[in-house]
């Protein structure tokens, strides 16, 4: 007979994730234990810790977990809609915390400022996302929007979509950003062509395109700094 998996009530009280976190702090917990706390409960046959371990094993890494949809999560045995919602909420909260700056107004003075603002959101995505930052006359970020989601290696966007969104927000300027899922931010010929089209369209409508950034894994390229606009 195969050994039965240990359920949470069989785990010594002091070794349970919640109790360990209360005693030692969140930093002392493993990825699996933190995920188990978000799940709250397991199933009849396995504890929350075992379920968390199964999730990480199936998705491969925390990076991949961040990109999983609700549908992909609920396809995992033991994860229903309620648990998937809990996980997605926890992931989204972490993303928002990572880009928040204590309620301060975000001012873009250089390409690095814009890259830092979006890096943790875009660097792990498996498809290209085209994002616009909308700025006022003082270069404060007043809004942000993902305008398109492309394939693994192609982002689809038209200048009219970009400037329709910019005009609706009364933007004085915009910064265009997209990610390269490969992790390599080197601009493609298509990226350069799109940048030039956006810059020309911005001159026509009176909304300056300050830059177009390509985000890789912890790296970025400014097409303005490279002389493409």
H-helix or E-strand spanning residue 106:
none
Contact 212, 118 (CB under 8 A): no
How much of the chain is helix, strand and coil, in % rounded to 5?
Answer: 45, 15, 40
What is the chain's pLDDT, residue by residue, as a tens digit (229 residues)? 444 444 445 554 445 888 888 988 888 889 999 999 999 888 888 888 889 998 998 888 887 888 788 898 999 889 999 999 999 999 888 877 766 654 567 899 999 999 999 998 898 888 899 999 999 999 999 999 999 998 666 667 899 999 999 999 999 999 999 999 999 999 999 999 999 999 999 999 999 999 999 999 999 999 999 999 9
Contact 70, 84 (CB under 8 A): yes
- What's residue 18's pLDDT? 86
- What's residue 6's pLDDT? 46
Decide: helix, strand or coil at residue 37.
helix
Going edge to edge, which strands form the sheet with 141-149?
141-149, 129-135, 173-179, 208-215, 220-222
pTM of the model: 0.63
The one-character DSSP state at 7 is P
Nearest 5°: CA angle at 178, between 177 and 181? 150
- What's residue 171's pLDDT? 97
DSSP strand E in the chain: where? 129-135, 141-149, 173-179, 208-215, 220-222
Strands 220-222 and 208-215: antiparallel
3-state secondary structure 152-196: CCCCCCCHHHHHHHHHHCCCCEEEEEEECCCCCCCCCHHHHHHHH
Question: Which residues neighbour 132 within 8 Å (Cβ) at sequence distance 6 or greater?
Answer: 144, 145, 147, 162, 165, 166, 174, 175, 176, 177
Neighbouring C-beta atoms of residue 18, cutoff 10 Å? 15
Q: What is the Cα–Cα distance from 193 to 106, expressed in whole angstroms?
A: 29
Decide: helix, strand or coil at residue 90.
helix
Residue linked to tokens 């001159």: 203
């Amino acid at each position: 007979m195969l050994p039965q998996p240990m359920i949470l009530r069989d785990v010594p009280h002091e070794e349970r994730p919640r109790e360990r976190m209360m005693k030692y702090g969140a930093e002392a917990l493993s990825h699996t234990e933190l995920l188990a706390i978000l799940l709250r409960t397991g199933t009849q046959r396995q504890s929350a810790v075992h379920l968390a371990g199964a999730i990480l094993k199936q998705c491969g890494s925390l990076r991949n977990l961040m990109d999983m949809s609700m549908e992909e999560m609920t396809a995992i045995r033991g994860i229903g809609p309620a648990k998937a919602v809990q996980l997605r909420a926890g992931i989204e909260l972490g993303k928002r915390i990572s880009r928040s700056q204590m309620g301060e107004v975000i001012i873009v003075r250089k390409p690095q400022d814009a890259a830092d603002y979006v890096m943790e959101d875009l660097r792990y995505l498996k498809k290209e996302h085209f994002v616009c930052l909308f700025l006022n006359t003082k270069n404060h970020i007043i809004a942000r929007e993902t305008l398109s989601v492309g394939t693994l290696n192609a982002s689809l966007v038209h200048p009219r979509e970009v400037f329709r969104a910019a005009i609706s927000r009364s933007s004085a300027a915009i910064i265009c950003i997209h990610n390269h899922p490969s992790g390599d931010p080197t601009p493609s010929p298509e990226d350069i062509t799109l940048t030039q089209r956006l810059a020309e369209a911005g001159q026509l409508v009176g909304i300056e395109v300050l830059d177009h950034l390509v985000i890789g894994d912890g790296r970025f390229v400014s097409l303005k700094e490279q002389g493409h606009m």
